[in-house]
Structure 1
Amino acid sequence: MKKILSLSIIASLLFAFSACRDESLNPLPGWDPGVHAFTVFDGINFNGNILARPQPYEVANAKNFPKASQNDAKVDLKTRWVSLDNKLTVNKIEIYVRMLESYNDPDGNPKVADLSENGKGKLITTITTPAANRKWNTFSITAQQVYDAYKNASVAYDKVNKVNVFNNPARPRPAGAWFRPAETTGYGSVGADSFVVTWVLTTSDGQVFNTWNPDSICADPTPVSEANSNCQLTFTVR
């Protein structure tokens, strides 16, 4: 009987303590709802193994710009936004592309120039009426769009004087072949131009999501599901 009475007293004290606790003094913030996205190359099939990640459709350079006839070249992709708790709705998806150019400095050291100069990239296209949660939205990135976004980019290849990338006599980029593959010529061995696709999600209540945790959302290792995520996709010239 004494044991039962003691347990009753302890339970009453715990209840009283929890009932009187001031949640405003809790040092741990509450979790707000969020959204993320999953973007892949369109037209590349699931390999049949639900545990295999990355899948062929999310591997870097699974699709690329060709070396020539770039006027009509495009890379087809698809993206879907995900709200795990269904508390937010995405009503706009902006697609950005960073263009990276490899070159050798005057000392022969390999360098990579981010032509966006901001680490974010240039806005290439916008999905203004995205499909519902976890439903695919298809889009394409054309070579013409990327050229138009970066045609005024310049780099100080000699560390002093900036030169327009697309009018650089040391590495010609004629019309229809604006973007270069890996090459070894008079200016040395350089890697191919690279393009990094990222996205910004805007929700119906005005929130903007453009940064996610690189150790979780951005490197999602979980089995294939409708909740998968990533933070960028890369392609090149081949």
Structure 2
Amino acid sequence: MKKILSLTIMVSLMLAFAACRDESLNPLPTFLPGVHGFTVFDGIAFNGNLLSRPQPYEQNNAKNFPKAAQNTAKIDLKTRWVSLDNKLTVNKIDIYVRMLESYNDPDGNPKVADLSGNGKGKLISTIATPAANRQWNSFSITPQQIYDAYKTATVKYDKVKAVNVFSNPARPRPTNAWMRPAETATYGAVEADNFIVTWVLYTSDGQVFNTWNPDSICGDPTSVSEANSNCQISFVVK
């Protein structure tokens, strides 16, 4: 009888404490569902090894723009969105590209200009109806697309006067060869134009995902799987 009475008192006390609990003071975070993306160069062989990282198909510069005939060139990529708990659905993916131009200032110091002016890049392509969770979506990026997006970009190379990047008399960019490779002679030691591809995911419930944890998502350390992730991929001109 004493045991039953003790259990009854304990249960009553637990119910009383639970009824008075203020959930706003709960130190444990509430984790909401989210989505992330994984973008790779298309058409790159796996080398028969799916377990080691990094893989050739996801490395930066696995493909690059050519030095000439850029009006007919392209880089093929593929991307997929991932919902680990299957609670969200992505209904649109925007592809952005940041263009970074290297140059030397009047004092000979190496500089890098982000031509987007916002650190986020410019919209290059939209996947209006993405495939289902963890399924690939193919797309391409061309020099023509990037030229069209950045053709009005300017840089103050002398720290004073803004000069159009693509009509800069001090460093001409010929038609059909707008994007520049690395240089060591004519203009001094200058790195190649660099292009950083990022993406924005839109879900059917109106959420927008464009920023992820730099450690767990952007620097995904796990072996290759359908849940892999990254936050950007880049290439240059070679």
TM-score of the superposition, structure 1-length normalised? 0.93
Q: Where does residue 160 of structure 2 map in the other structure?
A: 160
Q: CA, structure 1 residues 2+31, in 2 after alignment: closer, same or farther (shift >3 Å)?
A: same
Aligned residues: 238
Given that 1:66 and 1:237 are in contact with CA atoms closer than 8 Å, whether structure 2 keeps it comes out as yes
| Greater displacement, 69-78 / 11-20 | 11-20
Counterpart for residue 201 of structure 1: 201
Aligned to 1:184: 184
Q: How does 1:35-74 map to 2 (within 5 A)?
A: 35-74=35-74
CA gap of 1:105–1:4, structure 2 versus 1, over 3 A, is farther
1:235 aligns with 2:235: yes
Query: Cα offset for 1:171?
Result: 1.3
Q: Which amino acid aligns with 1:111?
A: K
Separation (CA, whole Å) in 2 of partners of 1:42 and 1:129? 19
The one-letter code of the counterpart of 1:50 is L
CA distance in 2, matches of 1:227, 1:20: 41
Range with bigger deviation, 144-153 or 177-186:
177-186
Q: Secondary structure at the match of 2:184?
A: strand
CA contact (8 A) 1:222 1:228 kept: yes
Which residue of 2 is the match for residue 125 of structure 1?
125
Cα offset, 1:50, TM superposition: 3.3
State the alpha-carbon separation in 2 of the partners of residues 8 and 57 from structure 1. 63
The 8 Å contact of residues 52 and 223 in structure 1, kept in 2 or not, is answered as yes
- List aligned pairs for 1:95-106, cutoff 5 A: 95-106=95-106
Structure 1 residues 48 and 18, CA gap change in structure 2 (3 angstroms): farther
Taking structure 2 as the reference length, what is the TM-score of the superposition?
Answer: 0.93
Following the alignment from structure 1 to structure 2, what is the Cα–Cα distance between the partners of residues 8 and 75?
A: 71
Equivalent AA in structure 1 for residue 175 of structure 2: A
SS in 1 for 2:144: helix
Q: Supply the RMSD in Å over aligned alpha carbons.
A: 1.9
1:17-36, aligned counterparts within 5 Å?
17-18=17-18, 20-36=20-36
State the partner residue of 2:108.
108
Distance 2:15 2:149 in 1: 62
Q: Which letter maps to 2:191? A: G
Shift of 1:83: 0.5
Equivalent position SS for 1:17: helix
Q: Indicate if the aligned counterparts of 1:51 and 1:222 stay in contact, CA closer than 8 A.
A: no
What's the CA shift for 1:231? Answer: 0.2
Q: 1:210 maps to which residue?
A: 210
Q: Distance in 2 between matches of 1:101 and 1:202?
A: 30
Structure 1 residue 13: Cα displacement: 4.3
Q: Which residue of 1 aligns with 2:142?
A: 142
Pair 66,27 (structure 1): closer, same or farther in 2 beyond 3 Å: same
Give a deviation string over 1:171-205, Cα, whole Å, max 9, x none: 11101110011012332110000000000000001
Question: Structure 1 pair 138/12, CA: closer, same or farther in 2 (3 Å)?
Answer: same
Q: Distance in 2 between matches of 1:79 and 1:11?
A: 53
Instruction: Report SS of the residue matched to 2:149.
Output: helix
Deviation for aligned residue 1:22: 2.7
Say if 1:199 and 1:231, in contact at 8 Å, map to a contact too. Answer: yes
> Cα offset for 1:216?
1.2
